[in-house]
């Protein structure tokens, strides 16, 4: 027992010979080991971006311009006389009776992280419609085979259209959006510049 | 004729008998005046000395200074453990001065010098020289100071030449009184072949010189009580870098990345986002400053490892990089195989390093939200 106490005392003396006023500095030794504590709070996150499609001729999707993004179809008419400045044009099936359509591919990229589930939807509706009655927003979730493949987009949250279901986070998804021009005539103004706003909603459920 | 002194009790005092049996001529000296006579004699001697310009200096402990032992003209004191980084607590009565000091630190203590015997209107100067210098003279350099001694620029290296001592109290000098001076020990910063450690001692001689007649008085102070013990020292500090997260002192330091997510949306000030597979990296610059002295080696190694990992290591990971843009590599979680930051750092180098926090974007049952923390341990080793 006495011998053990002596050994303990000797060990204490050895360690006591190192004079450390803090873990950041010391004397009579050749090493020092300060520590750095890293604090963090992880949050779940969700993101939906729009971008220009790589498909040749697609309309450019720009940031800003009165909304988060903007795209311009240029000059359009109900007979499809003006060529598409970008994207594609469907001339009316029956000129003067049916609509023409100017449309383009674009890309939706939903991203979500730290969500308890991966199931999700991306929906869209026209939150601010064109002022002119002869204009409407159309969409397609796949490359349209014809003007009939383009559907009118809902104009209220309740009638929002589902564009994507269970999209993989971070995966770019090609979608289509366009403007149909009706051959409407009358006393109202049907010509001139106009714009509409589409609201997209990504929800991880 | 024999004289018999009459006593007050009426009995005559008998004459002494013996070899010196002659009766004392007590009646010739007024012994009752002896104390007064002695006092007059001492005063006369002092006055005589003063008139002759015999001055005396003495050393004593100053308030807040080291204890000065001994008596005039030989005293002793000492600085004890010292190092060139000023790390650790100095001995009682010793303060460490870093302001205005280049290439080391000054251990300083106050001493009282008392001057006496200076005749009016004479004045005396004080000076000092090393009557025996430290053997580790490149590392231990005695200095003196009289005013403004809180900064190193006020100190002068003490002369090694008794013929040209270093002035402490210069002309026009001072009169009798006690004067507090500072004795400094510059501990020079050195690594490499010239570095040295161990105990040492020296002797300082203080001289008072009468400016009127050139007479001097001197005392010696042996700096061996306790001896100076030159030690090695190491230190590693972390600090905030410009444009980076704040590095706060804690146990030992801490850094808060705030709210993070797997997308990298809305990073806190001081953080930049670096794309990474399966998530993002939040990156911040920070500073590492190693210091060391008294070593034969001029370079040291600096390593880091995750000594306490996140509770959710699949979601959060600490990365290291030498550049903001990367590449970022995961910091080792093994104390036995730590991530090397550098193996050739020299003392006082400020290293800018980038700490990355990888945040996984995983969804589903393994996803995690909430607070977590980890601890990094940095190790500076001088071989």
> Is residue B294 within 8 Å of residue B283, measured between CB atoms?
no
Predicted pLDDT of residue A146: 96
* Tens-digit pLDDT profile for residues A17-39: 445 444 899 999 999 999 999 99
Q: Chain A contact for B363, CB < 8 A?
A: yes
Could you give the C-alpha distances from A105 to A58, A137, A141, A151, in angstroms and in order? 6, 14, 10, 14
H or E element, residue B340: strand B339-345
> Is residue B354 within 8 Å of residue B283, measured between CB atoms?
yes
Rounded to the nearest angstrom, the minimum Cα separation between A147 and chain B is 37
CATH number at residue A171: 2.60.40
Which chain B residue is nearest to residue A168, measuring alpha carbons? B363
How far, in Å, CA of A27 to CA of B85, rounded? 9
How, if at all, do strands A161-165 and B216-223 pair?
Answer: unpaired
A135: CB partners within 8 A, 6+ apart: A179, A180, A181, A182, A194, A196
How far, in Å, CA of A106 to CA of A108, rounded? 7
Q: Name chain A contacts of B343, Cβ cutoff 8 Å.
A: none
Predicted pLDDT of residue B54: 85
Residue B347 has pLDDT above 60, yes or no: yes
How, if at all, do strands B177-188 and B140-145 pair?
Answer: antiparallel
Predicted pLDDT of residue B252: 85
How far, in Å, CA of B280 to CA of B46, rounded? 89
Chain A interface mutation, best of B80, B105, B262, highest count of A Cβ atoms under 10 Å: B262
Domain contains A130? yes
Q: Chain A contact for B172, CB < 8 A?
A: no
How far, in Å, CA of A162 to CA of A174, rounded? 14
Q: Considering chain B, what percentage of its residues have pLDDT values greater than 90? A: 84
Nearest Cβ partner for B367 among A19, A31, A115: A115
B93: left (phi over 0), alpha (psi -120 to 50) or beta: left
Q: Classify B192 as helix, strand or coil.
A: coil
- Locate tokens 């306490």: which residue? B308
Domain contains A192? yes
Beta-carbon neighbour count of residue B289 at 10 Å? 16
ipTM of the complex: 0.78
Predicted pLDDT of residue B276: 95
Domain contains A114? yes
Q: Chain A contact for B160, CB < 8 A?
A: no
Residue B91 has pLDDT above 70, yes or no: yes
How far, in Å, CA of B81 to CA of B231, rounded? 7
Cβ density class B235-259: b for 16+ within 10 Å, e for less: bbbbebbeebbebeeeebbbbbbbb
Residue B200 has pLDDT above 50, yes or no: yes
B45: CB partners within 8 A, 6+ apart: none
pLDDT confidence of B251, banded at 50, 70, 90? low
- Locate tokens 């002494």: which residue? B16
List, in sequence order, every beta strand (DSSP E) within B78-138: 81-82, 95-97, 104-116, 124-132
Number of domains into which chain A is organized? 1
* Tens-digit pLDDT profile for residues B148-182: 999 999 999 999 999 999 999 999 999 999 999 99
Residues B332-357 have a mean pLDDT of 97
**Interchain contact, B247 vs A36, CB within 8 Å:** yes
Domain contains A11? no
Domain contains A21? no
A33: CB partners within 8 A, 6+ apart: A23, B236, B377, B378, B379, B380
Predicted pLDDT of residue B305: 98
**Which among B379, B374, B334 is positioned nearest to B357, based on CA atoms?**
B374
Q: What mean pLDDT value characterizes chain B?
A: 89
Nearest Cβ partner for A19 among B88, B359, B371: B88
Domain contains A17? no
Q: In tens digits, what is the pLDDT along chain A, a chain of 205 residues? A: 445 544 434 433 333 344 544 489 999 999 999 999 999 999 999 999 999 999 999 999 999 999 999 999 999 999 999 999 999 999 999 999 999 999 999 999 999 999 999 999 999 999 999 999 999 999 999 999 999 999 999 999 999 999 999 999 999 999 999 999 999 999 888 999 999 999 999 999 8
* Tens-digit pLDDT profile for residues B45-89: 444 444 455 899 999 999 999 999 999 999 999 999 999 999 999
Predicted pLDDT of residue B213: 93
| Cα distance from N-terminal residue to C-terminal residue, chain B | 100
Which chain A residue is nearest to residue B368, measuring alpha carbons? A114
Residue A116 belongs to domain spanning: 45-204
Domain contains A16? no
pLDDT confidence of B18, banded at 50, 70, 90? very low
How far, in Å, CA of B298 to CA of A31, rounded? 14
Predicted pLDDT of residue B32: 59
Q: Considering chain B, what percentage of its residues have pLDDT values greater than 70? A: 86
**Interchain contact, A28 vs B378, CB within 8 Å:** no
**Interchain contact, A21 vs B87, CB within 8 Å:** yes
Predicted pLDDT of residue B42: 43
pLDDT confidence of B35, banded at 50, 70, 90? low
> Is residue B221 within 8 Å of residue B111, measured between CB atoms?
yes
Gyration radius (Cα) of chain B, Å: 36
**Interchain contact, B252 vs A117, CB within 8 Å:** no
Residue B309: CA count within 13 A, CB half-sphere? 14
Residues B240-269 have a mean pLDDT of 93
Domain contains A179? yes
* Tens-digit pLDDT profile for residues B349-370: 999 999 999 999 999 999 999 9
Residue B262 has pLDDT above 80, yes or no: yes
- DSSP letters of A105-143? EEEEEEEEES-S---EEEEEEEEE--SSTTEEEEEESS-
Could you give the C-alpha distances from B318 to A181, B285, B309, B350, B368, in angstroms and in order? 56, 13, 9, 21, 16
């Amino acid at each position: 027992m006495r011998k053990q106490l002596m050994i303990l005392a000797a060990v204490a003396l050895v360690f006591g010979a190192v004079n450390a006023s803090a873990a950041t500095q010391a004397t009579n030794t050749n090493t020092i080991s300060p520590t750095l504590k890293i604090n963090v709070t992880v949050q779940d996150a969700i993101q939906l971006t729009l971008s220009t499609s790589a498909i040749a001729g697609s309309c450019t999707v720009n940031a800003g311009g009165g909304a988060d993004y903007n795209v311009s179809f240029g000059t359009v008419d109900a007979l499809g006389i003006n060529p598409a400045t970008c994207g594609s044009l469907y001339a009316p099936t029956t000129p003067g009776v049916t609509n023409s359509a100017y449309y383009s591919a674009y890309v939706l990229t939903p991203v979500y992280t730290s969500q308890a589930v991966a199931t999700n939807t991306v929906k869209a509706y026209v939150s601010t419609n064109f002022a002119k009655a002869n204009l409407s927003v159309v969409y397609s979730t796949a490359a349209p085979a014809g003007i009939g493949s383009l559907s009118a987009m809902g104009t209220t949250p309740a009638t929002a259209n589902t564009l994507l279901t269970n999209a993989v986070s971070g995966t770019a998804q090609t979608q289509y959006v366009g403007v149909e021009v009706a051959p409407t005539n009358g006393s109202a103004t049907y010509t001139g510049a106009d714009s509409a706003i589409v609201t997209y909603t990504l929800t991880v459920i | 004729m024999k004289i018999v002194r009459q006593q007050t009790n009426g009995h005559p005092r008998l004459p002494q008998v013996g070899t010196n049996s002659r009766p004392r001529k007590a009646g010739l000296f007024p012994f009752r005046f002896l104390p007064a006579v002695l006092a007059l004699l001492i005063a006369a001697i002092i006055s005589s000395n003063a008139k002759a310009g015999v001055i005396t200096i003495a050393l004593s402990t100053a308030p807040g200074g080291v204890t000065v032992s001994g008596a005039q003209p030989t005293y002793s004191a000492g600085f004890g453990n010292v190092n060139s980084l000023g790390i650790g607590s100095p001995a009682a009565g010793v303060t460490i001065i870093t302001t205005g000091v280049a290439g080391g630190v000054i251990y300083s203590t106050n001493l009282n010098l008392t001057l006496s015997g200076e005749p009016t209107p004479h004045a005396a100067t004080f000076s000092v020289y090393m009557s025996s210098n430290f053997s580790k003279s490149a590392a231990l350099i005695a200095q003196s100071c009289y005013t403004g001694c809180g900064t190193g620029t006020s100190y002068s290296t003490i002369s090694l030449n008794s013929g040209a001592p270093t002035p402490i109290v210069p002309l026009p000098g001072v009169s009798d009184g006690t004067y507090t001076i500072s004795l400094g020990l510059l501990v020079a910063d050195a690594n490499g072949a010239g570095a040295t450690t161990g105990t040492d001692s020296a002797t300082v001689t203080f001289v008072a010189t009468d400016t009127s007649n050139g007479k001097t008085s001197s005392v010696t102070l042996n700096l061996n009580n306790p001896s100076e013990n030159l030690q090695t020292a190491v230190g590693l500090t972390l600090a905030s870098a410009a444009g980076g997260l704040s590095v706060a002192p804690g146990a030992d330091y801490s850094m808060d990345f705030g709210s993070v997510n797997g997308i990298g949306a809305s990073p806190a000030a001081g953080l930049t986002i670096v794309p990474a597979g399966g998530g993002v990296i939040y990156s911040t610059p920070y500073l590492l400053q190693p210091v060391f002295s008294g070593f034969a080696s001029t370079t040291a190694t600096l390593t880091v490892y995750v000594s306490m990992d996140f509770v959710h290591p699949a979601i959060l990971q600490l990365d290291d990089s030498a550049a903001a843009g990367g590449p970022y590599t995961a910091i080792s979680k093994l104390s036995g195989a730590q991530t090397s930051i550098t193996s050739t750092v020299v003392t006082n180098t400020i290293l800018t390093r980038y700490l990355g926090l990888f945040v996984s974007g995983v969804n589903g049952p393994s996803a995690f939200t909430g607070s977590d923390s980890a601890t990094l341990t940095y190790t500076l080793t001088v071989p």
